[in-house]
Structure 1
Amino acid sequence: MFERSPSTLLRGVRRAAAAIALAAAAAGAHAADIYITAEFKPDINDPDKREFVNTTPWSGVCNSVHLQACINNEWWSIDTKVRGTKQGVRTNDYGRDSFYIGMPGPRTVTVTSDDGAHTFDLGVKIIGAALRLVDQDGDGPTEPASTGGAINCNRALSNTNANNRSVMRLWLRQDRGNGVLACALHWLHTNNYAIAEFDFTYQLTTPAPLAMRSGVYTGMTSFRVGGTGEGADFDLGNGVELDDNIVNVHFQLEVQHAFQLEVPAGSDRAVLAPRGGWTQWTDHGIVPKALEREIPFSISSSGQFSVSLQCQHAHSDGRCAIRNETVDAPDAPLDIQLTLPGFRDASSGAEAVGVALTSTMTPPVMTAESFIIRRPSRLHFSVNGEAVGTMLDHPGSRYRGDVTVIFDADP
């Protein structure tokens, strides 16, 4: 009896997945740059978690004594770095002379993969804004703006510092950022105030991450900040002078898909044999139609991956082969088929059932509609037809060859 044993190695290749960034715009002489980041790193043990996680460092009004309140309410503030002054006017009209902030409506930002090949839409809503004003003259009241509710907005956070005569308010829009509107409180004092901080709170509607390849996606949008007659996205009302009047918001989204192969022990060696054993050949001389072996494994994936083949002995048509190590005989070509239930070819849409693998083919990219967890799959190896008879012409010899099947989770 002779042994046919192609040594089979399944290897999962995890290439470093990039981070998500939304890129910069043309910077002017009066521009500030801020960065918002989020990431998607699915967990095989928590497959229902399919959303981006905001990874932007805390800044602005939430990055203080209010941090826990912001965490509890899922508010995320960011300091725009805009600084300047505003002239206070004692008025009760809740108008542009008041403690006033006009806010923009929602917008869509295009994010592009780091190789420039893929784009997705990112929704951005400004759901609130915060303004910190400090009395420059130092002789005003400790509460220079009214403490009640603002038009169109709900007061979320506030504090006053009697030592430096400052006031801070965070307002959340009643429409949750669905339109253009303004919020205002009336002044209690006429004085000059420094804009010590101007923040906004935001909400992102991210793309469906399962449809995105691993990598970094970047994009950018700009907001104009200003006062009367400037057509600003963020309108701070009358009596405003600013150091910067453009805020470039850079977005960075990182997608790092989960991928895992689980291969049973001993699967690095496949001994080929006829289905049902060798008795038909040994007892009756009937040549088997095929010598074969199936290798089971399980696969988990939240994204796309490619599959390719490397051969120790390559046949002229791209198939791998096994070689007689005992006598000089023709190599026996191997037919290798891959079955991945629940996956399909991303290019053709065909189900990944019995996919023939060769070393010369363009590696097929596999995809799925959902996060697939530990799905039983299989590789089938076989020598078929006349090649079996040729092998049996050399009884007692041994055929062997190494085959490497590569799963690349960053195709």
Structure 2
Amino acid sequence: MKSVRMKGFDERRTLEEVLGEVLSALPRMPPERIPTISALGRIVHGNIVAERDVPHFDRAAMDGYAVVAADTFNCSQEKPARLKLVGECTVGRVSDVEVRRGEAAQISTGAPMPRGADAVVMLEYASVSEGYVHVYKPVAPFQNVSRRGEDVKAGDVVIADGEVIRPQEIGLLLQCGVKKVSVAAKPRVAIASTGSELVDINEEPDVGQVVASNEYMLAALTKTYGGEPVYLGVVPDERDALRLTINKALTFDMAVFSGGTSVGKYDYMPETVAEFGGKNVAHGLTIRPGGPTAVFLIGRKPVFCLPGFPVAAMIAFESLVAPSIRKMLGAGKIDPRPVVEAVLVRRVPSTLGRRDFLRVKIEESGSGLIAIPLRVAGSGILSSMTRADGVVEIPEDVEGFDEGEKVKVKLFLHVF
């Protein structure tokens, strides 16, 4: 590959071009079987089908009286139906009560319907006197009855391939008798920070030194998007040290480095990765921040060299690494970030031919959401990301957005 050190970038590729090429080359991770109760946030590998009906028996949907619906036809407040009370049905057990014509059984919500009964009269529309139930409002067959399989039938697809398992899916799967699920194995992502100026997070930085926080930020992002980070530590700007770390990183499913990607004298990272063969998809993108990013495919294994400035590293991660993790997981949504529309409170200029990522804060106004611009430039100002709720992408063919214009805001994913 052509070196840009001490020269600058002659050409850059668009984000869409690079991302399209990378995603098309990535393999899907194999499936693994895990307990349903441990599957929160995992991506389903293959459709999951119900093993039993939900509910698996006819049950009362209301507290009241189990009856034969036909016995209540034409009844009214003035002329109630009079039914003999023959027993009680409670939750958690099958009653031996049988309801015949002219009879009723008291029943609790969720209790199995007794033999012979096909409807439930709500307590509000009945009264009991001297062993008889007086019904003041007619019910239709199966009214106030939750039928077997009305929620899910055995063999139904409960969760489709590529969907994420949320808390409600865990509950439904267990109801359906699914105790284990097949999910995509998490891609193992090797992460390292490069730079001779970096010091460990437990050290007090001297003048000219920088705390190596990127590795932990990128690891947290990796977890957020479904990958499993592997820390490789801090590597100085020395070719031999970089080669050793790259060689180790290539034993994992994906490699992510931060630092050493720009045009400085000691920005060796892209050149050193290139020594390992494969394809240099890009070095230099038409985005801000994150322009010096380099991307390689070594076999079908992606290697991302992100800028050292933290905002640029995060923007480049969410634009390239996160979609790659999601693609390898087989996720139905490559970009899971929620998007909201908001009105921009002031004009933000941009440059044609470059995609800008505007950090914004979202607030509510009387007429809806507003987007307050924080910064476009300043790739080292990490507080601009902590104060922001998301980003607005200004496309390459637009010279900024005007005040009062509706924009789409990609919100940051939250993990609690």
Please identify the structure whose Cα radius of gyration is greater.
Answer: 1
TM interval, short-chain normalised: under 0.3
Could you say which structure has the greater relative contact order, defined with CA pairs below 8 angstroms and 6 or more residues apart?
1
Query: Which structure dedicates a bigger proportion of its chain to strand?
Result: 1
Give me the TM-score of the superposition, normalised by structure 1: 0.23
Query: Which structure dedicates a bigger proportion of its chain to helix?
Result: 2
